[in-house]
Amino acid sequence: MTGQNTRDRGSHTPSVAWSQRMIRNLLYGRNVDRAAKARVRVGLVIIAFGLIYAVIAARLVMFAAFPDDRGGHRTASQDAIATARPDIVDRNGQILATDVKAPSLFGEPRRIIDRDEAVELLTATLPDLETAEVRQRLGTRKGFVWLKREITPSQQKEIHNLGIPGIGFLRENKRVYPSGREVAHLIGLVNIDNQGIAGMEKWLDSNGLADLHRAGFATDRLQKPVELSVDLRVEHALRDELVKAKEHYHAKAASGLVSNVRTGEIVAMVSLPDFDPNNPKEAHDPDRINRLTTGVYEMGSTFKAFTLAMALDSGKYDLNSMWDARAPLHFGRFTIHDDHALGRFINMKEVFTYSSNIGAARIALAMGVEAHKAFLRKLGQMDRLRTELPESAAPILPRQWGELSTVTIAYGHGIAVAPLQAVMGIDALVNGGWLIPPTFLKRSEADAMKLAKRVIKKETSDKMRFLLRLNAEVGTARKADVKGYYVGGKTGTAEKVIHGRYAKKRVLNAFTAILPADNPQYQLLIMLDEPQPLKETHGFITSGWNAVPTGGKVIARIAPLLGVQPRFDLPPSERLILAASRTAQ
């Protein structure tokens, strides 16, 4: 046994110890000369120093690439916080929102040598930093804490020059909005982590962007711009005129919207007061809501367009049907009056151009409550309107809808809808009878027709275009009849409900216009909240004295931008619209 173990050890020993024996022999062997030993020793020293220098060089390269080794790793995680977002552009490619890189200040409490000195220096350089908060954050044992997000390059330079150990910077994505307030309510904004919290920014997150970020695929290079339907030029003109109107008529608020009646695209949308998305604090003011999608209002006499369309589309009545407007309409304990009382029977055209409450009420009563409800539901006025914008409100309907509700809703009281909802319904009345869901994304007519539902006959749509144009020729919309653009329109003056009662001196005015009325391409909505009487309005506060002239100024500016060619010496609506409609039939 002993001899066998000795052989086993002898068979393994040469392979294991061969290199060691060779080095040992070279260094210390008695049969090796001194010169050979010296060369080996010098070679080993060179190899050892070479390895040391190689390690040092590798570390220098790493520090050059990543000033802070741990900061390099943190950059990767930071991308998941301040997310990269795609550019948002208008329909002509103008940038509405984009990402830029901005430095943010952080601390590494474990590396802080003198916390008091660090706090004193930082708060002296950045006075808006809370001393107690900075001291508390740097007093933890954490490896990383944020001290201030999104500082300026000059602030970064000042702090860098202080040379405080444990204080550093990371470059983050910061969202900026070059057009500022112009498209504030439409585009929304993001939070400090670049995540959408309102408007189209929030829609982006809820439609795949947040999932892409979680999966790590949403890098700066992979994201294509999001193309909206809005035209920044039209948006600017609309906002500019609304700002002037709000100031001129001393109104509490003003809003406006331009839609493409053939595609449902929203070309411009403004709600004042607005905010600067570059300054998110302003957006939290409750007075700065988007009144066109979040607010719901009684739209006043603009709703008469629905009432008359209902009757005309039924085939039971035509434009010459007569209605008794000789005296106020008594209904229960309520009495319905006309602002422009004619004291006689009036036809359908006069109901519209004189904006007769009595006439509209009698038309709705003749059609019946259920037919009235069914028609408004078909026009999308009874259900909450959903668009890309997350901010939306459901309409307010009567709890018990009887004949009295039908009477008041016929002329725009007793039901409150989002203005964008009303715009969608008017679009259907004038575009040939197609209800098209509105969108804030660019859309072709072919794509729109895939979503469209026919809600009224084409001949009914022709008659509605005639009525709207007639109202601009001889009715309450005359002050918006911009020469060359063949405008059609309907006014609405709704008394506001204050403490449960209608207040005659506090009104919400609306004006909806189409252009051109013989072949509509666009609809414009103007709304003024509580405009005040002026000397030039002879003390009146109704829509025809403020919202309508404002609409006319907007049309004069936006029609050329929208490519609507001016035409002159056009015949009246009776010949240009009705005659053409009869010929086509």
Total Cβ atoms within 10 A of residue 513: 32
Q: How far apart are CA 307 and CA 194, in angstroms?
A: 46
Phi, psi of 519 (to 5 degrees): -155, 75
Outline where 113-272 has alpha helix (H).
115-125, 131-138, 153-162, 184-187, 199-204, 210-215, 232-248
Q: Which of 301, 356, 543, 573 is catalytic?
A: 301
User: In 81-112, which positions are buried (b, 16+ CB within 10 angstroms) versus exposed (e)?
Assistant: bbbbbbebbbbeebebbbbeebbbbbbbbeeb
Question: Which residue in 504, 500, 498, 522 sits closest to 512, CA to CA?
Answer: 522
Q: Is 493 helix (H, G, I), strand (E, B) or coil?
A: strand
In the numeric block, which tokens belong to residue 443? 């859309």
Angle at 229 between CA 215 and CA 487, to 5 degrees: 165
- Look-up: residue for tokens 């024996």? 21
Outline where 139-231 has alpha helix (H).
153-162, 184-187, 199-204, 210-215
Does residue 516 have a cis bond before it (omega within 30 degrees)? Answer: yes
Q: Using an 8 Å Cβ cutoff, are 425 and 389 in contact?
A: no
Taking CA atoms, 544 is separated from 80, 269, 282, 509, 562, in Å, by 53, 22, 33, 9, 25
Q: Is 342 helix (H, G, I), strand (E, B) or coil?
A: coil
Strands 88-89, 95-107: parallel, antiparallel or unpaired by DSSP?
antiparallel
H or E stretch including 350? helix 348-353
Q: Using an 8 Å Cβ cutoff, are 155 and 177 in contact?
A: no
Check if 19 is active-site. Answer: no
Which positions are annotated as active-site residues?
A: 301
